[in-house]
Amino acid sequence: MFKKALLGATLALALLAAARAEAQTQSHIFPVTAASGNVAAAAAIATLPAAQGLTTFISGFEITASGATSASCVNATVAGLVSGSLTYTFCVPAGVTAEAPALIVNFNPPVPAASVNTAITVTLPSLGAGNTNATVATHGFQQ
C-alpha cells in the first residue's frame, strides 16, 4: 500500500514538473487589431502597435472605399516589415456613391516587423475629391 502511494506521489510530482517546464517555455501570443475608422478624402491609416520586448506580426489587412469625383488609383503601403515596405495598387471608380472593389490581403505565414518593439502601419492615401468613405483594418499578433 505504501509503495502504491509513493509511486502515485512520484508520478504526480513528475507530471507537475513537466507541466511547469512546458508553461515556462511556451511563448505567449497576444492578438492585435487596428482600424482607421471611416475617412473622407484623407489618408486612412491603421497601425498595429509596437510593444516592448515583443515582435509584432501582420496576418492580413482589408481596404474598402466608395468612389470619388474622378476615377483614380493610389498606392497603399504596408510599412515596418522585416522584408521592407510592401505596395498595393488600389483603384476607385468615378462616382461618389459607387463602390470600389475591396482589397483583402492575408499573409500566410504572418509577416514580422523589422525588429522587436516596431509597429506595422497600413496606409491608404487620400482617394481624392468627392470620396466620402475609405477604411483600413489590419490584424495580427505580438509574440
Which residue from 56, 63, 54, 66 is spatially nearest to 33, judged by alpha carbons? 56
Confidence check: pLDDT of 32 > 50: yes
Q: What is the pLDDT of residue 4?
A: 53
Looking at the domain that runs over 27-142, which CATH code has it been given? 2.60.120
What are the Cα distances from residue 69, in Å, to 63, 94, 97?
A: 19, 5, 9
All three cell numbers of 137, joined, read 483594418
Does pTM top 0.75 for this prediction?
yes
Q: Look over the chain and give the mean of its residue pLDDT values, rounded to a whole number.
A: 89
Q: What are the pLDDT digits (tens) for 103-130?
A: 999 999 999 999 999 999 999 999 999 9
Res 5: pLDDT = 46
DSSP states along 28-91: P-EEEEEE---BSSS-EEEEEPP-TT--EEEEEEEEEEB-BSS-EEEEEEEESBTT--EEEEEE
Q: Grid coordinates representing 38?
A: 471611416
